[in-house]
Chain A
Amino acid sequence: MCLDCACGRPDQAPERLEPPHRHPATATEQPAPIAPGAVKPSAAAGPAVATGPLQSLSVGLRLLAHNDRQAEANRARFAAAGVKVVNILSAPGSGKTALLEALARHAAAAAQPLAMAVLVGDLATELDAERLRAAGLPAMPITTGQACHLEAAMVARGVDALEAAGHGLAGLDLLLIENVGNLVCPAAYDLGEDLRLVLLAVSEGEDKPLKYPATFHGADAVVISKSDLAEAVDFAREQALANIQAVAPAARVLEVSARSGAGIEGLLQLLR
């Protein structure tokens, strides 16, 4: 079962929250010991049944602290190597891999070089990684088996695999992480990224953001993909933009088409 991370401290007044994936991990919060008077005798106590006293214990531990610690370790490793890392989330079939192929083509043709590599999460097959290698990108698959999302530890192992294959972080400008196609669970897991993109294909409809507010709320940028199909699917663009604004007011919005190349240059600028 997937769980989200928690921001903010339980026993204080609500404070300003950073987006969860950039919140510095405080790992464990010191549990507050209870004052001696709080220990109460068990109501069921009788001479024949020696049940001990009950004690209330304030804990305040984030359930995903373990993942967050690994994410911070990832973050430090990426920063030390000067690599920008992007986590790409979307529903299955929104065009993540095609978009990465388009980015690879445009980056290769650009005057300013951009050394990119990709980690691809999927439950099964290494097909996406193979496609991306064919497009000229160093790519390592992360085959999750049953896990419907990527976690920070999987990304750490993926980076180790890239290094072992001769694509060390030191030689990279940009590491892209194509998350498992899933609009629910991946959102909960900080991978140590600098930027979180959520893709929304025009064929998915304008109300998708309203149906997955938690995921869209965590996006730094929402990328509307397959824009070349907008007319064919009667995409209600203004409504989509309003819906994105309503659930993700802090997110930038870009519109791209991997097929036509529209908006790819703008996306590259954001990623550089």
Chain B
Amino acid sequence: MQSVAELARAEASQRGAEAITVIRLRVGSLAGVDPEALRFAAEVVLAGGLTAGARLEIEPVPARAWCLPCTALFSLEQGLCRCPRCGTVSADLRQGRELVLASLELRLPAPAEPGNDGPVGWP
């Protein structure tokens, strides 16, 4: 979670954000990370700085492999690489090991008050 906080804060400050409101992660089912454990750690590490108060959204990415005989993707049940349709074992994993900071929602600074630099001469 430390790297999530560091990456998020770096991206936000690079864009002059005042705060991060949402942090979206993508966690593959074969990434070796439990999303709830991640969330638990998040409470500690994200507190403070630009990430304080950010809502953490974790999108689970199911593990999917390509079955050659079926010419289609199948979802791996609990990491088993056997195609449920035809039983062929596939080593061709296409998704499921992701651990990505996918996106952020940032709060930018409020714009300048209208009228401060309005055109001269208007009523």
Contact = CB atoms under 8 A, between A and B. Distances in A.
A62 B99 contact: yes
B37 interface: yes
B3 A247 contact: no
A4 B61 CA distance: 13
A51 B102 contact: no
Contact of B32 (A4, A50, A51, A60): A4
A232 interface: no
A210 interface: yes
Nearest to A29: B100
Contacts, number: 158
B107 interface: yes
B37 A1 contact: yes
28 contacts: A1-B2, A4-B33, A6-B97, A6-B99, A7-B97, A10-B100, A14-B94, A42-B107, A53-B107, A54-B106, A55-B107, A57-B15, A59-B102, A59-B103, A63-B7, A63-B101, A65-B3, A184-B32, A188-B31, A188-B32, A210-B79, A213-B76, A214-B31, A214-B97, A215-B32, A246-B80, A248-B81, A250-B91
Interface in B78-123: 78-82, 89-95, 97-111
Contacts of A64: 3, 99
A64 B93 CA distance: 20
B77 to A, nearest CB: 10
Contacts of A8: 94-95, 97-98
Interface residues of A, number: 49
Contact of A217 (B3, B18, B30, B95): B30
A37 to B, nearest CB: 15
Interface string A1-23: 11111111010001111001000
A184 B34 CA distance: 11
Q: Classify the interface of chain B: helix, strand, loop or mixed.
A: mixed
A21 to B, nearest CB: 11
Given A52-B110, A56-B105, A61-B101, A213 B30 contact: yes
B56 interface: no
Interface of A: 1-8, 10, 14-17, 20, 31, 39, 42, 50-66, 184-185, 187-188, 210, 213-215, 217, 245-250
A54 B107 contact: yes
A77 B33 CA distance: 30
